[in-house]
Amino acid sequence: MAPGARQKYEYWRLLMIYFDFAATTPLDSEAAEVFVQASTEFYGNSSSLHDIGGQSQDLLENCREELANLLGVNKKGLYFTSGGSEGNFLAIEALLSAPKKVGKHIIAGLAEHSSIHGVLNRLEGYNITFLPLNSSGLINVEELEQAIIPETVLVTIQHVNSEIGTVQPIEKIARICKERDIHFHSDIVQSFGKIELAKIAQLVSSFAFSGHKIYGPKGVGGVYIDPAISWRAFFPGGSHERGLRPGTVNVPAIAAMTAAAQKVNEHIVENHTRFLKIRAILMESLHPIKEFVHVYEADPGSQLPSIIGLRISGIEGQWMMLECNRHGFAISTGSACQIGMQSPAKVTQALGLSPQEAKEFIRISFGKTTNREDVIKLGETIVDIVKKFKR
């Protein structure tokens, strides 16, 4: 990095306070060390037959076993990918290649990640039912049951919504799918490392996760597909990851992600408790403008406390985001993948918001460096911005 660029980077790093952990997280220092070590000492292609390749393969399989143990699944069904988006794509294609019964009907959440909508939109000959969210940001299980027809072969519902942090009733949905011989896929990108997943992971046909949401590297993730399912590969002739995908396996990134997952998993309960307190502090700091603030959330038992999705009446979210940025706070207007397409977050449509209300949506999300003082500063800044705007 050039000296001028480094100075500018250091300036913004010290000036900006980050509240966009749901989009991505900084690489954990210990995970970074693992990445460097694996890159320099285990650099062989894990598919090569010589000893150097064998060392890389041993590290890869050790990571697979460690992550499978964390998730409570059979390691034979765990595959490494370039991230959650690719994992969602490969999982859905795999499940549709081996349906439990004949049919061309799929049920999905309207607020699913853009990668889910992307793969569903490219399917030909399928009838897809999209389910909205209720006022608490949750899928109505009764509506889901009513949407099932004899030809329903797949249900795909994310575990935690990335914009508002609501936790969907995966156990109930999984039970319904099992009774009706329907494959069930869940995107667990936002819950991985934040919620105990061992029980839920065993109930679904497949799930996808990502490394950069848990202080691991970008460009790496994984997908689990029940080993009992005899899927066919979407990419023909692939020799890596038992034929699921082509391309040399990124062993250093996988090792770093595994290290990050092990570390964050040790603090799930502690972090949950801390985020509950921080969330309450932010809500209290916004009290002076409470008549303008609309928070979209579920009861505490169905809510990830580290994600707050809200809108402020009369103020566009993009303008609020830019104003916060000007004052040194990094917030967002929703999923970074959706923002890239310059369209409102899918959750706003799923919640039934009007086009104007959807434009007012913003997201604030916490991470391991978030502290009480910074949250209070953010709350006070938002209050000042709103008061000046309304004046």
Which residue numbers are catalytic? Answer: 337
Distance CA 385, CA 391 (A): 10
In sequence order, the β-bridge partners of residue 166 are 303
What is the DSSP secondary structure assignment for residue 28, as one 8-state letter? P
Please report the pLDDT score of residue 8 as a whole number.
Answer: 56
Distance CA 313, CA 106 (A): 36
Average pLDDT by stretches of 10, the chain with 391 residues: 60 79 98 97 81 87 97 97 97 98 98 96 96 97 98 98 97 97 98 95 97 98 97 83 88 98 97 98 98 97 98 96 96 67 78 95 97 98 95 79
Distance CA 141, CA 3 (A): 56
φ, ψ (nearest 5 deg) of residue 336:
-60, -35
pTM of the model: 0.93
Q: What is the DSSP string of 247-305?
A: S---HHHHHHHHHHHHHHHTTHHHHHHHHHHHHHHHHHHTGGGTTTEEEE---GGGB-T
Distance CA 62, CA 85 (A): 24
Burial of 347 (0-12, 13-18, 19+ CB in 10 A): buried
Please report the pLDDT score of residue 247 as a whole number.
Answer: 86
Distance CA 8, CA 301 (A): 42
Please report the pLDDT score of residue 10 as a whole number.
Answer: 55
The Cα-based distances of 124 to 188, 230, 231 in angstroms read 26, 22, 19
CA nearest 206: which of 229, 226, 220, 189? 226
Cβ atoms 349, 358 nearer than 8 A: yes
Cβ atoms 42, 55 nearer than 8 A: yes
Give exposure, 142-166, as e/b (b: 16+ Cβ within 10 Å): eebeeebeeebbbbbbbbbbbbbbb
Give exposure, 261-274, as e/b (b: 16+ Cβ within 10 Å): bbbbbeeeeebeeb
φ, ψ (nearest 5 deg) of residue 119:
-70, -35
Q: What share of the chain is helix, strand, coil (3-state, %, to 5)?
A: 45, 15, 40
What is the DSSP secondary structure assignment for residue 167, as one 8-state letter? B
Please report the pLDDT score of residue 146 as a whole number.
Answer: 98
Distance CA 322, CA 122 (A): 34
User: For residue 119, what is the enclosing H or E element?
Assistant: helix 114-122
Please report the pLDDT score of residue 46 as a whole number.
Answer: 76
Please report the pLDDT score of residue 45 as a whole number.
Answer: 77
Distance CA 228, CA 322 (A): 49
Please report the pLDDT score of residue 23 as a whole number.
Answer: 97
In sequence order, the β-bridge partners of residue 296 are 309
CA 15 to chain CA centroid, nearest Å:
27
